[in-house]
Chains A and B, each alone.
Chain A
Amino acid sequence: MNAASSFALLANATSLPWADVPEWPVADFVRATAAELDRGGRLCAWFGVPEGDATRLVAVVAFDTDNTLAVGRSAPATSSYPSLTVTHPQAHLFEREVWEQHGLTPKGHPWLKPVRSSAGTAPAMGEFFRVDGREVHEVAVGPVHAGIIEPGHFRFQCAGEEVLHLEIALGYQHRGVEAALAGGPHRATMSQMETVSGDTTIAHATAYAMALEALAGTEAPLRAQWLRAVALELERLANHVGDLGALANDVAFLPTASACGKIRGDFLNLTALLCGNRFGRGLVRPGGCRFDLDPERSAQLLARLQTALTDSEQAATWLFDAASVRARFENTGTVTPQQAAALGLVGPAARSCGLVRDVRYDHPAGWYRFAQAPLAVWPDGDVYARTRVRWLEIQRSGKFLLEQLAAAPEGEIRDATLAQPAPDTIAVALTEGWRGEVCHVGLTDGAGCFRRYKITDPSFHNWVGLALALRNQAISDFPICNKSFNLSYCGFDL
């Protein structure tokens, strides 16, 4: 298929001169993107680059089976263009975002409304999809929730206990991250990257560092890449274990709920052992890492990791052995593989629908070129499958870490002389965060500063998957469906 590909190809964590990205008039560009997607591509990012009063559209498409990425762009366009969503639903939120950010209207988009903010003011509530009927009632949840979670609004259309439709309105945590990055990298940029989504610090920080290294035409020292991989897997372990506990808690299954809260803390403390911060802040920097793992702490890390993994095994056994838990998880919140593929779901949410899609495997960069954990896939697409995939990933990431800690590469951890980003260059960096694919696209201007920096958190792809999982489900099952996805609000809101 690559012979037919009209987009410019590049590998993960590499860059390309902006001039080498093929360009089409906007209508042809939409058709070319559609053709790339039809060839088996998957939309990683779709965003606008302002040029005078007009806007160029840029598409980043991933060909997972060919381990390659493809980039294309449109000529500057104003006012409108034919919508890609009509034929490829995975573009729906990207097109709404471009419309919101640049005022470029996708003609024929079935549900065009703001994504995050409305004219720079409050989050977009707007019109919600409504189901009419005497028996239908509407339930509004949030943005203030009963638990200590992030703000988001959920609007259910229900017939009795059954949910006919769920619409999710976010944007309450919009901080203007992308706008703040323009003209960078600034002094604050690295810290901003680490807080795009706090529980995904390592994945976002690594993606940013790789993008900057690609723009500089280099890569981090091997030992730094190894450290990043170790930290990324620790992040995955902590969050997945926390999710198992949260899922158990939502069905009032206390043994696992109580144990996992503690074990999650154990994993977070391992990251703290690595760099002094439980969420891995301050570890990853462009050009390498700031903290090394000396042999003594490495041995301690290994011992504590083994204990935490044993504890996880026990907690997961309780969960999966309980018939009452299985009864709640199985056949609840099912997403079909067709839906998942059409919507472009990523991460555990996609892998639990039987889709084989994992950046560590499909687009290996950094240390994952040399060492990989086996993919965790489960076919059913329900809450049970999403729980199971998490447990499989805990086991495999744990094994991966045990192997890696036993055979660490030697060398420097930071390249102090990282070159300035090349001018007029586009770099794409993907990492597999614990929620799924984190995509960073950096485009520099003539001076080597960011002309546009696009971040796509996995949650951006997956929120609509949650909405679909709720179709024809009991509204009382919403919490476990929600926890089984456990998506980021701030990573979406940016």
Chain B
Amino acid sequence: MMSFLEIVLRVAGWLVLAPLLPGIINKVKAWVAGRRGPPVLQLYYDLGRLWQKGVVLSTLASPGFIAGPAVTWVAIFGAAMLLPLGPAGAALSFRGDVLLLIYLLALARFCTTWAALETGSAFEGMGAAREVSYAVLSEAALITAVLTLSVHTGSVTLATMLEPAAGAGAALLGAGLFCVLLAENCRVPFDDPNTHLELTMIHEAMILDHSGPPLAAILHGAAMKLLFFALLLIEAVVPVGTLSPFAAAATLAASVLAVTVAVGLVESLLARLAFRRVPLLLTTAFLLCLFALLVAWKGGAA
């Protein structure tokens, strides 16, 4: 069982480090474009500012409008607690915890769309419709990826599954999960986190009416989700669990930075896809994970 101190450190790490990632992405984008860009800590300032603000509430929205972002944040935080961090393990680990993880992510999505639909706005309805449509495909890819790890290790416990990485199919799995990371975190080429155009938004359209602390919770939750997917991707590809604690920590930090910079570069150099082409790329991600599964099933774990 973990010490109290370790739990506190882990929680603090997730809460404090997560908002760093969007800042790094924006810095990379600014750097590629030859701009100075916002400070790396901009999201922290934004969160602080939003936390002090009041909330504008629609008279028509039910309590779900506020509950949605809260439950979403808790669900993502719960998923983060289930994710083992190399040799340090997870805050909570049990047989079958991977199923809970998948369902927590689905719950987070459900609550975001629920809160969006509460506003009754055409924009948010469109955003919610797009979100759940593309989720069908990205969840399929994610579940296949998890299944690959499960078959590879013969386990349904995350700590065991992520310890040795995906073996022979790691490259396939890594590419598939990177696509899932971009789609799940509303990055280019699936969505444009910087756009002001309501008609083209997915995730941003769903949170147009949120303000103050609920918006802060949404933004912080999104940052944690990005960190979560970056870590999941790394641990599926790199056998971090087999390293010494110090080497594992260094590897994780360096890899998260590498993934974040990669996201920034993708956003700098690629235009967004038309919505009708999004399923094609997500299906490709699913197929990549599926082939990784085949490798794990037939070729990998003997």
Contacts and interface: CB of A to CB of B under 8 A. Distances in A.
Given A141-B198, A147-B197, A475-B199, A258 B35 contact: yes
Contacts of B35: 258
Interface residues of A, number: 31
Interface string A462-478: 00000000000011111
Interface string B187-218: 01100101111111000000000000000000
Contact of A255 (B33, B129, B192, B277): B33
A251 interface: yes
Contact of B188 (A146, A252, A258, A477): A252
B166 to A, nearest CB: 29
Interface stretch (A10-18, A298-306, A322-330, A437-445): A322-330
Contacts of A252: 188-189, 192, 194-195, 267, 270-272
A250 B194 CA distance: 10
B122 A138 contact: yes
Interface in A424-482: 474-479
B32 A255 contact: yes
Given A139-B122, A255-B269, A324 B189 contact: yes
A452 B200 CA distance: 44
Nearest to A326: B271
A359 B271 CA distance: 35
Given A139-B126, A324-B189, A253 B200 contact: no
A38 interface: no
Given A254-B29, A255-B33, A324-B189, A479 B271 contact: no
B34 A325 contact: no
A310 to B, nearest CB: 16
Given A474-B275, A477-B274, A258 B199 contact: no
Given A139-B126, A140-B122, A250 B197 contact: yes
B277 A146 contact: no
Given A254-B33, A258-B35, A327 B198 contact: no
Nearest to B275: A476
B200 A324 contact: no
Interface in B250-302: 267-277
Interface string B210-229: 00000000000000000000
B272 A479 contact: no
A478 B271 contact: no
Contacts of A412: none
Question: Interface centre among B130, B194, B267, B272, by most A CB within 10 Å?
Answer: B272
Given A252-B272, A324-B271, A476-B275, A258 B34 contact: yes
A328 B272 contact: yes
Interface in A174-208: none
A475 B33 contact: no
A141 B188 contact: no
Main secondary structure of the interface of B (DSSP, over half): helix
Contacts of A251: 271-272
A395 B300 CA distance: 58
Contacts of B272: 251-253, 324, 328
A257 B192 CA distance: 14
A146 B196 contact: yes
A272 to B, nearest CB: 23
A96 B204 CA distance: 39
Given A140-B122, A255-B32, A324-B189, A147 B271 contact: no
A479 B199 contact: yes
Given A137-B122, A254-B29, A324 B199 contact: no
Interface in B120-159: 122-123, 125-126, 129-130
Contacts of B123: 139
A253 B197 contact: no
Contacts of A254: 29, 32-33, 267-269
A476 B274 contact: yes
A137 B269 CA distance: 35
Nearest to B197: A479
A151 to B, nearest CB: 15
A141 B271 contact: no
A474 B271 contact: no
A161 B125 CA distance: 11
A478 B195 CA distance: 13
Given A252-B188, A324-B270, A476 B32 contact: no
Contacts of A255: 32-33, 268-269
Contacts of A474: 274-276
A149 B225 CA distance: 33
Contacts of A328: 271-274
Question: Interface centre among B29, B33, B125, by most A CB within 10 Å?
Answer: B33
Interface string A43-85: 0000000000000000000000000000000000000000000
A147 B196 contact: yes
A475 B126 contact: yes
A250 B200 contact: yes
Interface in A303-332: 322, 324-325, 327-328, 332
Contacts of B196: 146-147
A161 B270 CA distance: 23
A253 B29 CA distance: 11
| Interface pairs A-B: 7 shortest CB-CB | A258-B33, A324-B271, A253-B271, A146-B196, A251-B271, A252-B192, A252-B272
Interface of B: 29, 32-35, 122-123, 125-126, 129-130, 188-189, 192, 194-200, 267-277
11 contacts: A139-B122, A139-B123, A147-B197, A161-B130, A255-B33, A255-B268, A258-B33, A258-B35, A259-B34, A328-B271, A478-B199
